[in-house]
């Protein structure tokens, strides 16, 4: 049985983790070794390996170690409530970031130092070409932007210095293609 078990170093290496990470997981009760070698080394079973797979997956999703310990210690309750809780937290973070984004854009627009930027459109064109925008895909990019967020797309066009009439004409041309 001991021959099929992994030491802390081998288990850590197989997951790209540090040895100290697994020792920490042991200290907080998240991943206890199934046994010890005659020399006292921690030994991990296939079941421990499966638990570590779950830990790594949940950690990658931003779940706290304490919450995952509680969840993994109660397998009958399942992981779905924990995942839903995390998803709701992410939704809140996204909402907060969008509000920050809108506030930043409002500050940029209110500053006025970007007024008249239309005369500098060649700078944006150069940047676009560097980013892979071509005449062939520019329309697709604007159509995708318009579909994803019409208000932000229009704000972006205003930021570039286009008038409301020019923007409406441009949007109509996007729809006709």
DSSP 15: H
| Domain locations along the chain | 2-75, 79-111, 115-177
CA dist 90 and 74 (Å) reads 24
- Residue 35's beta-bridge partner residues? 43
- Assess contact for 78 and 72: CB atoms under 8 A: no
Integer distance in angstroms from the first to the last C-alpha of the chain? 68
Which structure tokens are listed for 24? 């920490």
C-alpha–C-alpha distance, residues 40 and 43, integer Å: 9
Report yes or no: 63 and 86 within 8 Å, Cβ to Cβ. Answer: yes
Question: Which residues are paired to 50 by β-bridges?
Answer: none
Question: pLDDT tens digit string along 38-88?
Answer: 999 999 999 999 999 999 999 999 999 999 998 898 888 888 889 999 999
How much is the pTM? 0.57
pLDDT confidence tier of residue 118, bands split at 50, 70 and 90: very low
d(CA 64, CA 149): 32
Q: What's the CATH class of domain 2-75?
A: mainly alpha
Strands 35-36 and 6-7: unpaired
């Amino acid at each position: 049985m001991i021959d099929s078990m992994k030491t802390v170093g081998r288990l850590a290496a197989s997951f790209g983790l540090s040895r100290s990470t697994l020792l920490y997981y042991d200290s907080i009760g998240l991943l206890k070794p199934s046994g010890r070698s005659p020399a006292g080394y921690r030994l991990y079973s296939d079941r421990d390996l499966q638990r570590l797979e779950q830990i790594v997956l949940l950690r990658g999703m931003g779940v706290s170690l304490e919450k995952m310990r509680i969840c993994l210690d109660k397998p009958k309750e399942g992981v779905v409530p924990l995942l839903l809780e995390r998803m709701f937290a992410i939704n809140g973070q996204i909402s907060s970031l969008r509000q920050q984004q809108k506030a930043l854009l409002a500050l940029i627009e209110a500053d006025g130092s970007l007024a008249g930027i239309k005369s500098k459109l060649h700078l944006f064109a150069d940047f676009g070409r560097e980013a892979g925008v071509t005449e062939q895909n520019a329309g697709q990019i604007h159509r995708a932007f318009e579909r994803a967020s019409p208000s932000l797309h229009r704000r972006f066009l205003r930021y570039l210095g286009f008038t409301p009439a020019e923007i409406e004409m441009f949007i109509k041309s996007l729809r006709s293609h």
